[in-house]
Amino acid sequence: MKLIFKIAKAELRNLFYSPIAWFLTIAFIVQCAITYTKVIDQFASQQEMGGMGLQWMRNLTQNVFTSPYGGLFPSVMQNLYLYIPLLTMGLISREVNGGTISLLYSSPVKVREIVFGKYVAMMAYSLVLLCVVGIFMVAGVCDIKSADYGMLLAAALGFYLLLCAYSAIGLFMSSLTSYQVVAAVSTFVMIGALSYIGTLWQGIDFVRDLTYFLSLSGRTYHMLGGLITTKDVIYFLIIIYIFLGSTIYKLQSGRETKPWYVSAARYVAIVVSALALGYITSRPSLIGYWDTTANQDNTLTPNAQKIIKELGDDKLVVTAYSNFLDNYYWYGLPEQRNEYLQKWEDYLRFKPDIEFHYVSYYDMPLALGYNLFEGYKGKTIAQIAEQRAKGSDLKLSLFETPEQIQKEIDLKPEMNRYVMKLTYKGRSTFLRVFNDQITWPMEAEVSAAFKRLLNANMPDVAFVTSEGERKTTKKGDREYKSVTTEKTARYALINQGFNVDTLSLNTQDIPDNIKALVIADPQTELSAAAMQKIQAYIGKGGNLIIAGEPGRQQMLNPLLKTLGVQLTNGMLEQQSDDFAPTLVLPHLTKTAIGFAKLLDKPSVDTLPVSMSGVAGLSYHDTSGFTVKPLLITKAGAVSNTMKRNPDLDLVNNKDDDDANAGGKVHMMSMGGGFATATPVSVGGGAVRVMKMGAGKPRIAGANKGAKLSASTPGSTETFTTAVALTRQINGKEQRIVISGDADFLSNSELGRREPRVSNFSFSTALFSWLNYGQFPIDTSRPDAKDNRVTVSTDHVSFLKILYIWVIPGLILVFATIFLIRRRRK
C-alpha cells in the first residue's frame, strides 16, 4: 500500500509540474463560476422584480445546481470528457514512450501496484475538481435560503464517481498506445461509445439489458436528484473494475508470453464477471435506496407507501396493452422497455416482485379525434398496420391482429388506447395514460388503482338523471363527462378512485352505500317521489351537491328551503372588456381553500372559478346546518351615498370570509319576461336588476339594512355563488354543497383556456371534501423551503468578479511562480 501511495505522489508531482493540470483547473473554475453566477443572478433579478414571478421561485437548490436546464452539475459534467483525457493520456503512454516502463518491469514493483498508484493520483486530482465544485456548493448554501444539503452531497458523490470512471477509462486507453494524442482521442471515443451504447439493439430482449446496463448515459441522474442507489454506485465501481482490470492484464502481457486465447480469456472473464455482478445487484429486491432530499422528493408519499404495503407479498401483475395504430404506441415498443420500467422504479422500491407483461396489437383506435381511414383511402386495417410497420422498420408479426386481441381481452371500453391492466388476487383494474403534458399516471392515479385492487367497494358518486340533469357520458358543453367518466382526463373521478353511477329517482331508490349524490340543473320540477327520497337521504346524513341555474330557481328552491338556502331570482353579471357579462368569476374563500391542499397554493388559490350564468344565494343557519360561503364575487367601487329602493328586498348574508376587490357585478332578474333595467348599487358593485311580474328580486350578498340607490360609485358589495353546509348527525359530519351555477363542473368550463381559472382543482377538492379526504388520494408534499435567494443583483456582480477573475487570477499567479521556481531548480 505504501508503494501505491509513493507512485501516486510521484504521478501527482508530474501532473502539477506541468502547466496542463493548472490550466485545466483554472478553466474548470471559470466554467463553474460562469454557470453558477449566471443562474443565481437570474433568480436574484427575478426576486427583486417581485410580482407573480415569485411563485415560481421554488426548489432553488435543484434549479441552481442539478437542473438539466442550466444547473451547475449538469453543465460541467457534460464537458468532463474534455478534461480527463488530457490528464490521463500520458499516464502509461509516457512511460512506454520514454522507455521507463522497462525499468518499472524490472523493479520489484508489481503491475497492479503501478496501475493502482497512477489511478490513485487521478482520484486525488478528481478530488481537486470536486473541491472546486465544493466552493460553489458552499456559496450556494450561503446564497440560497434553506438550501437542500442532502441533494448537494448526493450530486457531489455522482460527480466524483463519474470522474473516477472517466479516469479508469483514460488509464486503460493510455496503456494501449505510446502516443499520447492517440490515447486522448481513444478516451474520447470510448466515453462516447459507452454513452451511446444504451441506445443500441434495444429491440432484442437479452442484448437490450446488457447494453442498457453498460451505458454511462444518465447514470448520475438519480444522484443529481438527491437519490443514492446501490445500483448506480455499484455500476461505477464495475466500470472502474473493468478498465483497471483490463489495464493490469494489458501491462502484464508485456512481461510474459502467453497464447492469445489466454489473454482473450482474461478480458472475457473480467467483462463476464462484471456483467454478472451488475445483473445481480440491479435486481429490484437487492437495490438499496437513500433519499437525501429534505422533503423526500424521490420517495413515495406516506399514503402511497401505506397502500403498497397493504398489497403484501401477493403477486401483482401489470400487463401493458399497446395499440400500434394509437397515438401512444411508442410506449409499447421493445426499445422503450427499460424506460417503461424506470417509470415503475418508485413502486418497485417498495414492492420489488411486481411482474410485467407486454402485449402489442393493432386495431382501430377509438380516441384519435379523426377517422384513420381518411388518410388511407381504400385500405383495410391490416394494410394500414402493414404500411406503418414498414415505415417504422418493424415486423408486423410483432403485433397481434384485431381478432387475436379481441379473443384475449375486450379493449373497446378503453377506446383501444395504450392501457395497463393491473391484476391482483383475482381482481383487476385499468391504469391509463392521459391527454395532458405529463401523460403518464402519477402517484395519485397509481395509488388509486392499487386501492381499487385492494377494495372492491370504492366510493360511489351517483348523479341524478330523472329530470333532465347534466349527463356524465356525453361530451356536450353543458354535460359532466370531463369531471366524471372521461377516461383520458387525469382528474376525472373514475381515474381518482371513485365509481360513477347514474340514478333515476322516479324509478330507483338512493342506495345506502353511495358517498355523494349530485343533483345538477334539473330541467323540470322534482316529483313528489323524488323529493321524498332526497329528503330521506338528507335526513340520514347523506352528502350531496345541488347545483342550480338562473331561470330555473323554482325547480330547486322547494328542496333548498329545507336547508335554509335559496337561489335568488335573477342572474349575476360581471362587467368585462373581453368576455360576456354572464361570465362571472367568483373567488375562493378560506373555507373553500381548506377543502384540499391542492387549493392552498399561491398559483391556485388566487385563481377564480368560472361560472357562466349564475344565480346568487341567500341563506341562514336556522335549519340546523352551519353555512359557510365557498365562492364570492369581487366587488367594484361605488358611491357611499345610498337611497332606499322599495322595489328591492335584501337578504342578510353572513359571510365570515374576506373577499378581494375587483370588477363590478350586476344582477338580472329572469322569469316572466324582461322589463326595463334599473341600475342600482348594493353596498358594492353596480347591480342591474331586471324586474319581472309582481315578484321582488332578492339579491344575495347585501348587508342587512343596506340601502340602495341609483348607480353611484363607491361601495363594495359582493355576492355568494356557492356555499357549504355541515352538521353532526349519526356520528359523522354531513356535508352538502349548493351552487347557483351548474356550469362550473361542465365540460366547457373545465376546458376553458381564458381566463385562467381553477375549476378543475376546485371540483377535485369538492369531491375530496364530500368523501372526507379518502379520495383522491393525498400524495401532496410539503412546500420546499429553498424558495428565495439571500443575495442581491449588486452582490452577484461582486461575486462574478470574485469567482471569474480574482480566484482564477490568484491561482494563475501562484501556478506561474510555482512552475518558474520549479524550472529554475
Per-residue model confidence as pLDDT tens digits over 97-150: 777 777 766 777 888 899 999 999 999 999 999 999 999 999 999 999 999 999
- Half-sphere exposure (CA, 13 Å, Cβ side) for 224? 21
d(CA 275, CA 31): 36
Q: What is the mean pLDDT of residues 354-370?
A: 91
* Average of per-residue pLDDT values in the chain: 86
Residue at 634: amino acid letter = K
d(CA 470, CA 456): 27
pLDDT for res 418? 96
Question: Measuring CA to CA, which residue among 727, 542, 541, 535 is closest to residue 625?
Answer: 727
Question: Measuring CA to CA, which residue among 218, 188, 217 is closest to residue 83?
Answer: 188
More confident residue, 606 or 346: 346
Task: For the chain, give the percent of residues with pLDDT over 90.
Answer: 62
Number of Cβ within 10 Å of residue 195's Cβ equals: 15
Least confident of 437-446, 737-746, 773-782: 773-782
Beta strand 626-632 pairing with 587-588: antiparallel
Burial of 165 (0-12, 13-18, 19+ CB in 10 A): buried
- Enter the pTM of the model: 0.85
Q: In 17-110, which ranges are continuous DSSP H helix?
A: 19-49, 60-61, 72-77, 80-88, 93-98, 100-106
Number of Cβ within 10 Å of residue 303's Cβ equals: 15
Confidence of residue 825 (pLDDT cuts 50, 70, 90): low
* In contact, 462 and 456? CB cutoff 8 Å: no
Per residue in 504-531, pLDDT tens? Answer: 998 999 998 899 999 999 999 999 999 9
Q: Which helix (H) or strand (E) holds 723?
A: strand 720-729
Q: What is the mean pLDDT of residues 629-651?
A: 49
d(CA 397, CA 386): 9
Q: Is the pLDDT of residue 655 over 60?
A: no
CB under 8 Å, gap of 24 or more: what pairs does 235-242 form? 235/278, 236/161, 236/162, 236/164, 236/165, 238/274, 238/277, 238/278, 239/165, 239/168, 239/169, 239/194, 240/164, 240/165, 240/168, 241/270, 241/274, 242/168, 242/270, 242/271, 242/274
* In contact, 38 and 789? CB cutoff 8 Å: no
Least confident of 23-37, 96-110, 551-565: 96-110
Q: What is the mean pLDDT of residues 646-673?
A: 40
Q: Is the pLDDT of residue 553 over 50?
A: yes
Q: Would you call 317 helix, strand, or coil by DSSP?
A: strand
What's phi and psi for 398, nearest 5 deg? -70, -15
Q: What is the mean pLDDT of residues 437-455?
A: 94
Question: Measuring CA to CA, which residue among 460, 539, 526 is closest to residue 493?
Answer: 460
More confident residue, 217 or 187: 187
Residues 6+ apart with CB under 8 A from 707: 642, 643, 644, 645
Confidence of residue 378 (pLDDT cuts 50, 70, 90): confident
What does the radius of gyration of the chain's CA atoms come to, in whole angstroms? 35
pLDDT for res 699? 41
Confidence of residue 75 (pLDDT cuts 50, 70, 90): very high
DSSP state of 782: P
